[in-house]
Structure 1
């Protein structure tokens, strides 16, 4: 049997060794956790793109319908799509043969022998290549009295302005043919806005 002092000393030594081993294992475990957490790569972070000075930046174009649809039709095409603006042949009205002959002989008349119905009105002729509608006045104006001339001019100017407005609304030009220079001058004097639209018909 060993002496009691020896037994107590052995127990103390064994206890110290056991405590030391426990501490060592705890330290090893801590280092293992620390190293494993360092091995994980951090999630990538998006770095902000440096902003260029506003003076050097080009403006970004705004999206528009033009990126997805065909170009918008021009105004004359839009007018032609309106059914009332589509030229249609129509019978001459009034049975006035001299009047109709002058209309049929307008240079480059696209529908000789016919009136042309556009925008609710029968016009005397159409030059389609020039997109111009015509009215003709075959009055024997030079033989009229001053009073009758005044009445005729007043009536014709009113009608011509209406006819011009109808033609322009459908994208057509407008011209008026008369038989004498005196008739032309009287119309232009009464309506300066019609200057350049009145033509003396040398073909009839």
Structure 2
């Protein structure tokens, strides 16, 4: 073997060159493979970081969900009617005026905001002289000149008006309405208020 080497040194040089080329090629291949592995890991990290979380996903229809209510939120139900509003007897109905007294009916029709002009408002079994829907107030009108009566008749008439007024007030309140008594004079108004402070008495300057 030694003789071959000494006899042909060019063979040794060629062998060294071939071995060196093989080593370099193996090193290059290993370097390329390591680079590919690093590049794959970097791409995987970027994909994980840029992927949106479930909480940040956009809503499909583009409409915002109310904060803190989640996807099962629904608009609130409309408020229910009050119990007295559901009772049929609490729905006002037009009925012919009672008594047939033209002056009395004229004063009742002239009450501001009266929605039942030319008629009475039947509510809870009682035919009231007028109804103001804007204030939910039912009215009874008194056109008698009670202050001109003799003391005995005056007291009897006053006691009757107070008794009727309290009963009518309760009927109106049971259906969610306010109640007022309309009178023509300050004297009559004062007499009713002193006899029963719970009654609302209103002077009717239009009733002349």
TM-score, normalization by structure 2: 0.61
Q: Distance in 2 between matches of 1:174 and 1:94?
A: 20
Pairing 1:96–2:101 present: yes
Q: Distance in 2 between matches of 1:122 and 1:88?
A: 9
Pairing 1:177–2:186 present: no
Residue 202 of structure 1: which of 200, 205, 208 is its match? 205
Q: Distance in 2 between matches of 1:130 and 1:192?
A: 21
Displacement of 1:142 in angstroms is: 2.3
Corresponding position of 2:80:
73
- What is the total number of aligned residue pairs between the two structures? 134
Pairing 1:191–2:191 present: no
Residue 147 of structure 2: which of 117, 120, 142 is its match? 142
C-alpha contact 1:141 1:180 (8 A) present in aligned 2: no
Structure 1: tracts of 5 or more residues without a match: 1-66
Following TM superposition, the consecutive aligned residue runs of length 4 or more in structure 1 with deviations greater than 6 angstroms are: none
Structure 2: tracts of 5 or more residues without a match: 1-73
Corresponding position of 2:35:
none
Pairing 1:106–2:115 present: no
Q: Distance in 2 between matches of 1:72 and 1:130?
A: 20
Displacement of 1:81 in angstroms is: 1.5
Query: What SS does the aligned partner of 1:117 have?
Result: strand
Displacement of 1:79 in angstroms is: 1.5
Corresponding position of 1:126:
131
TM-score, normalization by structure 1: 0.62
Corresponding position of 1:31:
none
C-alpha contact 1:79 1:85 (8 A) present in aligned 2: yes
